[in-house]
Amino acid sequence: MSAGGDGGEAKGGLPPNTIIGIGAAGGLIGIYLAHFLPATFSFFGGLGAICAIVWGADAVRRVASYGLGTGVPSIGMISLGMGILTALFGLSVGGIAGPIVAFIAAAVIGAIIGVLANKVIGMGIPIMEQAMVEIAGAGTLAIIGLSTVIAGTFDYAVVLETVVSTGFIAMIFIIGGMGILHPFNANLGPDEKQDRTLILGVEKAALAMIIAGLASSINLGLGPAFVTILVGLTVWYISFNKFFGFVKRDAYAVVGTGLLPSEEELQ
Amino acid sequence: MIDLAANLLWMFLVVIGGVLISWSVHFVPVGGAPAAMAQATGIGTGTVQLAAGAGLTGLISAGYTMQVVDNLPLILASGTVGAMIMISVTMIVGTWVYVYGVGCVPSSAKVKVDPITHDRQDLYVSQGTEGHGLPTVSFVSGVIGGALGGFGGSLVYYALLKVGMGVAEVDANMIGLVAIFAVGIFFVNAVIPSYNIGGTIEGFHDPKWKKWPKAVISSFVATIFCALVAVIAISQLGGL
Cα A184 → chain centroid: 11
Give CA–CA dist A75/B229, Å, rounded.
21
Enumerate the domain spans of chain B: 5-239
Residue of A241, A229, A228, A233 whose CA lies nearest to A199 = A241
C-alpha to C-alpha distance for B112 and A145, rounded to whole angstroms: 53
CA neighbor of A73 nearest in space, from B203, B195, B227, B218: B195
Distance in angstroms (rounded) separating the CA atoms of residues B71 and B55: 20
Residues in chain B with CB shorter than 8 Å from the CB of A81 are 183-188, 191
Residue B132 forms beta bridges with which residues?
A: B107
Please state, in angstroms and rounded to a whole number, the distance separating the CA atoms of residues A143 and A98. Answer: 13
Contact assessment for residue A43 and residue A227, using Cβ atoms and an 8 Å cutoff: yes
Q: Which pLDDT score, from 0 to 100, does residue A41 have?
A: 84
CB contact under 8 A, B181 and A165: no
Question: Domain spans of chain A?
Answer: 16-266
Asked if residues A200 and A187 have their Cβ atoms less than 8 Å apart, the reply is yes
What is the pLDDT at residue A8? 63
Angle at A228 between CA A223 and CA A234, to 5 degrees: 125
Q: CA of A59 to nearest chain B CA: how many angstroms apart? A: 17
Average pLDDT for runs of 10 along chain A of length 267: 51 79 90 86 89 92 82 85 91 87 92 89 84 92 91 88 88 90 87 88 92 87 88 93 90 83 78
- Cβ of B52 within 8 Å of Cβ of A93? The answer is no
Considering all CA atoms of chain B, what is the largest pairwise distance in Å, rounded to the nearest integer?
Answer: 65
Q: Do B130 and A161 touch (CB under 8 A)?
A: no
Residue B33 contacts A where some CB pair is shorter than 8 Å: yes
Asked whether B234 and A38 are in contact (CB, 8 A), the reply is: no
Cα–Cα dist A166/A170, whole Å: 9
pLDDT at B13: 92
> How large is the average pLDDT for residues B80-94?
91
CA distance A238 to chain B (A): 32
Asked if residues A202 and A194 have their Cβ atoms less than 8 Å apart, the reply is no
Tell whether A73 is within 8 A of chain B (Cβ).
yes
**Residue B195: which of A109, A117, A156 has the nearest Cβ?**
A117
The verdict on a CB contact (< 8 Å) between A109 and B222 is yes
**What confidence tier does B112 reach under pLDDT thresholds 50, 70, 90?**
confident
Q: Are A150 and A221 in contact, with CB atoms under 8 Å apart?
A: no
B229:A82 CB<8 A: no
Cross-chain Cβ contact A69/B198 below 8 Å:
yes
Per-residue confidence (pLDDT) for residue B2, from 0 to 100? 60
Angle at B11 between CA B8 and CA B15, to 5 degrees: 135
Confidence of residue B201 (pLDDT cuts 50, 70, 90): confident
Q: How far is A55 from chain B (nearest CA, A)?
A: 20
* Complex ipTM > 0.90: no
Render A57-117 in DSSP notation, one character per residue: HHHHHHHHTT--SS-THHHHHHHHHHHHHHHHHHHHHHGGGHHHHHHHHHHHHHHHHHHII
Three-state DSSP state, B169:
coil
Q: What angle do CA A248, A254, A258 make, to 5 degrees?
A: 140
What pLDDT score was predicted for residue A5? 44
Percent of chain B whose predicted confidence (pLDDT) is above 70: 98
Q: Residue A265's pLDDT is what?
A: 77
For residue B175, the chain A residues in CB contact (below 8 A) are: 165
Contact indicator for A180, A56 with CB cutoff of 8 Å: yes
Tally of CA atoms within 13 A in the half-sphere of B107 that contains its CB: 19
Spatial distance between the Cα atoms of B78 and B62, rounded to a whole number of angstroms: 5
For B:154-213, CB contacts with A below 8 A are 171-173, 175-177, 180-181, 183-188, 190-192, 194-200
